[in-house]
Every structure is written in C-alpha cells, then in structure tokens.
Structure 1
Amino acid sequence: GITYTYNEPTIFMEFAHDVGVLARQRGLFNTFVTNGYMTPEAVKYASEFLDAATVDFKGNADEKFLRKYVFVPDAEPIFETLAEMKKYGIWVEVTDLVVPEVGDDLEKARWLVRRVIDILGPDVPIHFLRFHPDYNLQHLPPTPVETLERHVEVAKEEGARFAYVGNVPGHRYEHTYCPECGRVVIRRRGFSILEINLVERGGEHRCKFCGAKIPIRGRVMPTWRDEFRFVYVPIQTFTRWVRREVNK
C-alpha cells in the first residue's frame, strides 16, 4: 500500500486523491499520517480512496501548548475530523507526542483519551510517542520512558484497550496484547512485526490463546526484510507515472 506523510498530506490533497484512486483500483491500500486539521468536505473527498489514517495530537492536546507551539487555538477541529473519518468508515489510530516539561500533563492526557474514546470507542489504538530534541526545542530533554508508561496506564484506566508507547524500540508497550487474556498477539520492535499470535475465523482476527476478537483492519503479515521495506522513488518518476495512468 501507500502511506502519504512527510509532509502533511492535506497540503497535496488533490495529488494524493489522484494517486489513491488509482492505487485502490489496483488493490492497494491508502493511509494518511495527518495532523487532523481537515474540513468535513476534505474528509469526504479523501474517503474516496483513504482506508486508514493516523491522526497526530501534540502535547496531550493542551490548549496552551497548541497555541504556543503549534499556532492553533485548540484541538476541536481534530476531534471533528475523527468523527467524520469514523462516519466514512476510515480506520483511525491516534498518536500523541508527549513533550516533556511543556506537554506531558497526565490530567490533560486523561482528558484527551476520554474525548477520543467518546468519539471512536475503546478499541481505538492510542500511541504515546517519545519526543526527541530538535529544531526550536533542542533545549528540552527526550521524553522519559517512565512518563510514556504512565500515559499508557492512564489511558487504560480510562478504558482504552489498545494503548502503546512509540519511538522506544524494544519497549514492552510496542506489542499488541489481548485485552481478555493479556497474552501478546502481535510482537513488534520499531516498525517490524516479529511474532503473530492471531487466527482468522469468519473474516475476523482472534487471539490464538483465548479466542477473543482483536479489531484489526486488513491482513497481518510478518515484516519484509529491511532492504525491501522502503523503496525510494524520485518524485519526478512518480509524477510521470500518475499522469500517464490518469490520461489512459
């Protein structure tokens, strides 16, 4: 499949739409990594090709953090996007970049999780991502792993069934655990899937150990060898291919 990211995909929405429609016709899936600032019209337009999206929050969606560092008044448009994506059947996962000292308040995280679950339900995957110092925030430290772990615990307290730690390769909260028996059903390290303990029954994924349903969109497959996971395609080459396909 194709993931549209780096930079915000809504910046090149028309191009993504042209590519995505062609990709879907050929049996490929399409996913966005987006900040979620989309109008309902944009979500409807994207739904013509979009299968899934990761919607990124920053600093637990704290208004003060968003106004100072993201230059937006609040996160309400993002919550509206979540609801619109759900309406069109787009699979959604949520990430939250936890920024130490300025965007790591646990009560704000609790509020964010509640809002997300109210819209998408308790099965939505929520990933708490580790911040690393860069650009204008080099004076801040990396997010302590303990802070991320506490965020996961808070999410579980609020009813989230699939909460994760991100950007900490090898951490136990990278894995997917069965919410019924607690066993690992998908073992990961970074972007790699190392072990799968799922069975398919009637088109559903279930825990191999207890049979509980695990909500997953699409197939789960072991990771390809690293040299084949990412293929660099010059944008000029990709653009020529799209134009040729559109003009057929």
Structure 2
Amino acid sequence: MALHPARYWHRLNDGRLQCDLCPRDCRLHEGQRGACFVRQQVDGQMMLTTYGRSSGFCIDPIEKKPLNHFHPGTSVLSFGTAGCNLACKFCQNWDISKSRDMDRLMDSASPTDIADAAVRHGCRSVAFTYNDPVIFAEYAIDTAKACRERGIASVAVTAGYMHAEPRRDFYAHMDAANVDLKAFTEDFYIHQTGAHLAPVLDTLLYLRHETTVWLEITTLLIPGLNDSDQELTALSRWVANELGPDVPIHFTAFHPDYKLNTLPPTPPATLTRARRIALDAGLKHVYTGNVHDVDGGTTHCAACGLALIERDWHRILAYRLDPQGACPGCGQRLAGRFGSGVGTFGARRVPVHIRSYSSGQSSC
C-alpha cells in the first residue's frame, strides 16, 4: 500500500479525523477509510493510500476526455487510481472507480516518471481521469507540477465535487478541465450519485470566473432520468448566463452499466434534441458524444458559422483554423487553446507502461 500524508483534514475532539477535501466531510476512526476508500486514518494521521499507484496508463486523443477546444488532434497520457467520492449508479468506469481491491493498482510511477513518460511519448498533456482526481489530489498536484516543469499541460476530468480550499490548490496546477455536470436537479444528484448539485455548480463558477483553466462540460444523458426538455433547457440557460456562451458542452450517450444496466441506451435523437435546445439557449459550441455524428462533432465559428473543425467521434476530418486559432473566413478567434495548429495523433488508444527510472524498476 502506498501511504502518503494527505492534506485537507482536521482532528475532532473525539479522536476522529474529518476529511475536508470534499463535501462528504467523512469523519474517520483509526483505520477507517472515507467514502472514497482511498483516504484513511493511520496512526492518528490522514493518509492517501494510492499515491504513486495507478490502474493503468494509456495514450488517448484529447478529444476523448472530451476536450474539443484544447490542442485538437494531440495525444494525452491518461491515468487514474481507484475509488471515487461519488456513488453514481450509472458509472461507466465502475470497475475502477468503485474498486475496493488495491491489487488493481498494478502500475507504480512517481510524478517525475509520469512527466518523463509524457515527454518521451510526445504527449501534449497528461490527464487525470478514469476515476475522479479529486480523491488523489496530492498525487495529481505533484504530477501536474512535474509536468509543468517539462512543458506538459495537465487535464482534470472530474465531477467537480470538492471544497473551496483544496479546489484553489488543485486548479492552480491544472491547464484544462472537463467537468461532469451529471444533471441539473438536486433530486438526481441525491438519488443517482449520492451527492449534491450546488458544490458542482460552485466549481464551475470558480473555474470560469476565477481561474485561467480551460473549461468544458459533459452531461451524460440517461433516458428518463435527466433528458427532459425542461431540465435540458434549464441546464443550458444556466451555462449560457452564468458561465458564458463560449463554454463548450458535450451531451454524451449512456450505455447500460453498473446499477443501471436495465435501462435502454440513449437514442441518437435525444442527443440531437439536447444539442438543439442548448444552441437555442445561446450556447455556441454544443457537441454530441459516444456516437458517430459529424454535425454534432463539428466546431463552427461563433461569428460567421463556418465549419472550422470537422470531427467524427475522436477523429478530425478537417481543420481550418489559422495559426492564431482564428476563423479564416471572418478572423474571429475561436475560444480555446490551439497552439500552432492541429495535432496528428488521430483516434488511436495506446496502452503504455511507465518505467520507474528512479528505482530502476518497470511497472508492467
């Protein structure tokens, strides 16, 4: 077990430790773990039990995170650990995020090892994903620091469920984030995720208005649970009014999994309807995901409507931005981070092993 001192906790009068990382505020006796399963009281101290350990590393297209306005076409070194601070009944990575088996964490790598591997494999960024990086914040922050020293960007794929102080510390080291806005009702959050909506909205507001982190949003549409016209309209209007019309949002297709394995998959027509509702609400960059839909994957100029980046799932079909990230038709700059042009990684998925050069050991 990789025990590492954790931050964001305080001692209670009865000897328990309260975790101050996320709104669950877990209060732990000696030896007890939090709801996330990876933060534990050990010898009177709060410890992170997964520091330096991963469920695996893979090189993905950045569009898979999904991020459509952050260095399109480039590769990202992705990894996660185990556990989660939400209890989503529909989790698509439940074998990792719900895992209570630390033996799943087969790969060992220090923050420096990960940054070196990203450079070695030509990755533009590293993504903390598969399970929520909030619960391994210390490991993610240290890795992001090592990456920044080598010119590698850091990406958080997260549900955004955390308290204000760790949120400030965490996002001070991130360059981009995709936040899962899982629904737009408190009822859904309570009954389907075991969490609350307000802290997620607070994270979105913080990212948009108090940081320079590039932000995109994903909502997984689950038939009958969060896909009504009324809810989609309310969600879209909130994003447009509170975050701004340039924030990209991805409506993605649910497939039956975990505890919601008897529900039907999301019909493509639902994604098309959600996209139309969001566009009508004033959002400029609305995408569909987990389906083949060129129209729903294409980025248009917000000023003249020219198709700037055409996509099919994670594959870029055409790229028309100029080197400054502007529309060649009207000169309007596209919101996002575009560097000097489009990457050429494509839609591949490449599992990799991180060699720990500092210890001379390989994690295979």
Normalising by the residue count of structure 1, what TM-score does the alignment of the two structures yield? Answer: 0.87
CA distance in 2, matches of 1:117, 1:125: 10
Match of 2:205 among 83, 108, 117: 83
33-42 vs 167-176, which moves further: 167-176
Shift of 1:48: 2.9
Cα deviation digits, residues 88-140 of structure 1 (max 9, x gap): 21111011111002221121111112222233211000110111111211211
- Where do 5+ consecutive residues of structure 2 fail to align? 1-124
RMSD of aligned alpha carbons: 2.0
Q: Corresponding residue for 1:70?
A: 193
- In 1, are the aligned partners of 2:294 and 2:310 still within 8 Å (CA)? no
For 2:146, give the aligned amino acid.
L
User: For 2:347 and 2:199, how far apart are their aligned partners in 1?
Assistant: 37
State how far apart, in whole Å, the 2-side matches of 1:117 and 1:182 are.
Answer: 18
Of the structure 1 ranges 43-52 and 155-164, higher mean CA displacement relative to structure 2 is found in 43-52
Q: 1:165 aligns with which of 288, 300, 308?
A: 288
Equivalent position of 1:194 in the other structure: 317
Residue 76 of structure 1 and its aligned partner are, at CA, apart by 0.9
1:192–1:223 Cα contact (<8 Å) kept: no
Instruction: Answer whether contact 1:123 1:160 (CA < 8 A) is retained.
Output: yes
**For residue 12 of structure 2, what is the aligned residue in structure 1?**
none
Give the match for residue 344 of structure 2: 223
Report which stretch shifted further, 141-150 or 62-71: 62-71
Residues 32-51 of structure 1 aligned to structure 2 (within 5 Å): 32-51=156-175
Corresponding residue of 1:108: 231
Conserved 8 A contact 2:314-2:347? no
| Change over 3 Å in CA distance of 1:181–1:68 after alignment to 2 | same
Distance 1:243 1:79 in 2: 42
SS in 1 for 2:352: coil
Aligned to 2:128: 4
Counterpart residue type for residue 202 of structure 2: E
Moved more, 149-158 or 114-123: 114-123
Correspondence 1:209 to 2:333: no
Cα offsets for 1:124-161 (capped at 9, x unmatched): 00110111111211211111111111111111111101
Q: In the TM superposition, what is the alpha-carbon distance from 1:242 to its structure 2 partner?
A: 8.0
Between the aligned partners of 1:195 and 1:218, the Cα distance in structure 2 is 15
Q: How many residues align?
A: 234
Which one-letter code corresponds to 2:199 in the other structure? P
State whether structure 2 residue 167 is matched by structure 1 residue 27: no
Distance between the aligned counterparts of 2:346 and 2:294, measured in 1? 21
CA contact (8 A) 2:133 2:158 kept: yes
Match of 1:131 in 2: 254
1:17 and 2:141 aligned: yes
SS of 1:64's equivalent in the other structure is helix
Aligned partners of 2:199 and 2:140: how far apart in 1?
A: 21
DSSP 3-state at the match of 1:173: helix
| Secondary structure class of the residue paired with 1:61 | coil
Alignment-derived partner of residue 152 in structure 1: 275
Q: Deviations over 1:183-231 (max 9, x none)?
A: 2101112222221111134xxx21122222211214242331555x534
Contact 2:287 2:298 in 1 (8 A): yes
Letter in 2 for 1:14: E
Determine the structure 1 residue equivalent to 2:85: none
The separation in 2 between residues aligned to 1:137 and 1:116, in whole angstroms, is 27
In structure 2, distance between residues paired with 1:3 and 1:198: 25
Residue identity in the other structure for 1:34: T
What percentage of aligned pairs have identical amino acids?
35
Q: CA deviation at 1:15?
A: 0.5
